Amino acid sequence: MTRSWEISSVADAARARVMTARLAAAYGVSALERTRLTASLSTHLRQCLTKGGTWRLSVEAPTAGNGLLHVVVTPPREASAAGETPWSTAVACPGTAETPAQVPSPAAEDSGFAEALLGADEDTALVLEKLSEQEELVAFHREELHQTNQGVLALHAELDAAGRAQREAFAAERRARREAEDARRRLTFLADASAVLTSSLNHHEIVRLLPGLLVPEYARSVDVWLFENDSDNGSGRQGPVSHPAAAVRAVRTGRAQYAADHPGGLPGVDDHPPSVLEPNRPLLCIPLVTRQAPLGVLTLSPPGMRWDPDDAVMLIELTRRASIAIDNARRFEHNRDIAETLQRALLTDLPETPGLGLAARYLPATRGLNIGGDWYDAFRQRDGSLITIVGDVTGHGLRAAVMMSQLRTALRAYAVDGGSPGRLLTRLHQFLHHLQPDLYATAVIARFHPDDATLTWAAAGHPPPVLRTPDGRVHTLDARPGAMLGIPLRQEIGDHTVRLSPGSTLALYTDGLVERRAHGIDPGIGRLAAALGSFGTEELDADLYGSADRILQPLLSDSERDDDVCLLLCHFRGTR
């Protein structure tokens, strides 16, 4: 069903608008949709009235299966010819509440317009109410969105702050790990360097070790100025050496000095103007000090532009330890020289005996104070016999040396009354047991008589003598010896004899010559016998001292000895 109205005036447009609204209401169109429809239609009708002419409004009611209410505004014929096109719209109809015949068409002069106007206002009020609800809902959601945005912003701020804190924590952890690693590296170097410096008791060797320890990681160059010898500063340069003013000030003040054209900023170090000797190179001068007196100055140049403050602290500590090592080495060397002088003063010159050549060699241990209980001696008895002895007091040090001197003196006193080697050793055993019950000794005595080609010998806990016969064969005189001297045991030490031929050579020695910890004593005695057997009789006759040196050389090839070495060669040329 279709309803149509011609529209040529405002009244026609108003009636048509009212009828369209009533038809829409009759077919169940909602107030909101009716308002949209009438507002859109009113706008188009105003445009039509502006253009002039008679326009036709058609409203096509929905049919079965079609739930749309179609509204079409057709232009006049002349407007259509000019290209004007119809305007149309449609609105959904949920159902029909009234029949179209029941929808009245208001006259211009009746109250229908007022009623229609009130109805339109009601629809507008409903639309405004919906609009208010939507505005409230929008405002609510806007506030919710604002609160959410605020929360998101706060969360982002918290996450950003947490990220910054985490980055700062990671950076601090990396710095702490790096500082800990640097500290561990410095402590490890300090411990290793200290072990190297304290391993030597030669202060010159300690000075030579310092550059190798510090260059190139902690210094580009190292100079050591020791006051004992100003002609050699430890770097190998001989002759008078000029030293930086900062080094002199370091000695006077006892504090490290940094000589450069810029402040060093090093803890415990005083800044000093650059050195005139090396104005373009920073210098760190650290005094080598002890409790008694300064020893010298360690002068360093940095490996780069300057030192790290922690490295400077480590270098000062290393210098302090080097000072202690040098001072200890000097003290040891001084005491060693005194001990060696005392040791050699206790050893007597060998007597000249017709028909018998003597040669002795004594070498102190390379470790310790170089003083021990090894000794040799040779002297004549009243009957013209020559007593030769090699002995060894257990232990090292001054006590062993003093005991050795007392035994040597006692042996000479006992030999005045005569007595065989065994008898002399027996008396020495009794003497040592009563004088020093906790000290022991070993000894071997050989007696030569100028009128008899017989060797008489006796040993007490000592390595056996080695005899070379003129034919080059070597024999070990290992007949049963006595026990050590001084042990709590009553003993009578017996004598042993062997015939001598001209050209025979007897070797008396201490265990330091033949004994090695890893191999024992027997291999060493075998090497001694082989070395002695390698000489000819003429060579021994011509140079007995040189022969002794050549015997020692292969037996003492190792430079480190824990024990003293004593060797006495007796070369029998023949009786008168």
The pLDDT score that the predictor gives to residue 109 is 47
Q: What CATH number should be reported for the domain holding residue 289?
A: 3.30.450.40
Q: Are 441 and 486 in contact (CB under 8 A)?
A: yes
Domain span at 246: 203-341
CA distance linking residue 415 with residue 462, whole number of Å = 20
CA distance linking residue 69 with residue 23, whole number of Å = 9
Are 263 and 382 in the same domain? no
Name the range with the highest mean pLDDT among 22-31, 136-145, 346-355, 441-450.
441-450
For 92-101, 318-327, 338-347, which range has the lowest pLDDT when averaged over its residues?
Answer: 92-101
Asked whether residue 191 is assigned to any structural domain, the reply reads no
CA distances from 118 to 28, 108, 114, 262 (A): 19, 16, 6, 98
Are 289 and 387 in the same domain? no
**Listed residue (284, 287, 275, 289) closest to 308, CA to CA:** 284
Q: What is the DSSP letter of 482?
A: B
pTM assigned to the model? 0.54
The pLDDT score that the predictor gives to residue 83 is 86
Q: φ, ψ for residue 530 (rounded to 5)?
A: -65, -40
The pLDDT score that the predictor gives to residue 237 is 47
Q: Which residue has the higher pLDDT, 2 or 468?
A: 468
Find all residues with CB under 8 Å of 249, minimum gap 6, and list them: 257, 270, 272, 285
CA distance linking residue 317 with residue 22, whole number of Å = 108
What percent of the chain clears pLDDT 70, i.e. is strictly above it? 88
Q: How many CB atoms lie within 10 A of CB 117?
A: 12
The pLDDT score that the predictor gives to residue 96 is 53
Asked whether residue 25 is assigned to any structural domain, the reply reads yes
CA distance linking residue 281 with residue 301, whole number of Å = 7
Asked whether residue 459 is assigned to any structural domain, the reply reads yes
CA distance linking residue 87 with residue 347, whole number of Å = 145
Q: What CATH number should be reported for the domain holding residue 543?
A: 3.60.40.10
Are 523 and 403 in the same domain? yes
- Which of 95, 110, 125 is the C-terminal boundary of a domain? 110
Are 423 and 309 in the same domain? no
Q: What is the pLDDT of residues 233-292, one digit of tens each?
A: 444 444 456 789 999 999 899 899 999 988 888 998 999 898 888 888 899 999 998 877
Are 336 and 355 in the same domain? no
- Which of 341, 358, 373 is the C-terminal boundary of a domain? 341
Q: Are 306 and 264 in contact (CB under 8 A)?
A: yes
Q: How many CB atoms lie within 10 A of CB 225?
A: 26
Are 106 and 70 in the same domain? yes
Question: How much is the mean pLDDT over the chain?
Answer: 85
What's the sign of the alpha-carbon dihedral 540, 542, 545, 549?
negative
The pLDDT score that the predictor gives to residue 560 is 53
CA distance linking residue 46 with residue 41, whole number of Å = 9
Placement of tokens 């009113």 in the chain: 42
String of b and e for 438-474 (b: at least 16 CB within 10 Å)? Answer: ebbbbbbbbbbebeebebbbbbbbbbbbbbbbeeeeb
Find all residues with CB under 8 Å of 196, minimum gap 6, and list them: 209, 213
CA distance linking residue 415 with residue 389, whole number of Å = 12
Are 289 and 357 in the same domain? no
Are 378 and 297 in the same domain? no
Asked whether residue 195 is assigned to any structural domain, the reply reads no
Which contacts qualify for 44-51: CB closer than 8 Å, 24 or more apart?
44/73, 44/87, 45/7, 45/13, 45/16, 45/17, 45/73, 46/13, 48/7, 48/13, 48/73, 48/75, 49/7, 49/9, 49/10, 49/13, 51/75, 51/79, 51/84
Are 420 and 536 in the same domain? yes
The pLDDT score that the predictor gives to residue 233 is 45
Asked whether residue 461 is assigned to any structural domain, the reply reads yes
Q: Is the pLDDT of residue 107 over 60?
A: no
User: What is the mean predicted confidence (pLDDT) over 403-424?
Assistant: 90
CA distance linking residue 62 with residue 27, whole number of Å = 8
Asked whether residue 561 is assigned to any structural domain, the reply reads yes
CA distance linking residue 327 with residue 206, whole number of Å = 10
Asked whether residue 175 is assigned to any structural domain, the reply reads no
Q: What is the pLDDT of residues 348-383, one digit of tens each?
A: 788 888 889 999 998 877 665 556 678 899 999 988
CA distances from 310 to 268, 307, 313, 393 (A): 11, 8, 5, 53
For 98-102, 166-170, 364-368, 375-379, which range has the lowest pLDDT when averaged over its residues?
Answer: 98-102
Q: Is the pLDDT of residue 204 over 50?
A: yes
The pLDDT score that the predictor gives to residue 24 is 87
Are 334 and 367 in the same domain? no
The pLDDT score that the predictor gives to residue 99 is 47
Task: Show the tokens assigned to 392.
Answer: 């060894």
- Which of 341, 371, 390 is the C-terminal boundary of a domain? 341
What percent of the chain clears pLDDT 90, i.e. is strictly above it? 42
pLDDT band at 116 (very low <50, low <70, confident <90, very high): low
Q: Are strands 386-396 and 441-449 parallel, antiparallel or unpaired?
A: antiparallel
Are 388 and 423 in the same domain? yes
What's the sign of the alpha-carbon dihedral 335, 338, 344, 347?
negative
The pLDDT score that the predictor gives to residue 371 is 66
For 94-98, 128-132, 345-349, 491-495, which range has the lowest pLDDT when averaged over its residues?
Answer: 94-98
Q: Are 428 and 394 in contact (CB under 8 A)?
A: no
User: What is the mean predicted confidence (pLDDT) over 117-139?
Assistant: 73
Placement of tokens 């004992």 in the chain: 228
The pLDDT score that the predictor gives to residue 108 is 47
Asked whether residue 152 is assigned to any structural domain, the reply reads no
Please measure the distance between the N-terminal and C-terminal CA atoms of the chain and give it in whole angstroms.
176
Q: Are 325 and 206 in contact (CB under 8 A)?
A: yes
Find all residues with CB under 8 Å of 122, minimum gap 6, and list them: 31
In what side-by-side order are the strands of the sheet with 256-259? 221-226, 294-301, 283-289, 256-259, 269-272
Q: Is the pLDDT of residue 230 over 60?
A: no
CA distance linking residue 455 with residue 472, whole number of Å = 18
Paired residues of 258 in beta bridges: 271, 284
CA distances from 495 to 413, 426, 442, 525 (A): 20, 11, 16, 22
The 3-state DSSP class for residue 543 equals coil
Are 319 and 373 in the same domain? no
Paired residues of 224 in beta bridges: 298
Number of domains in the chain: 3
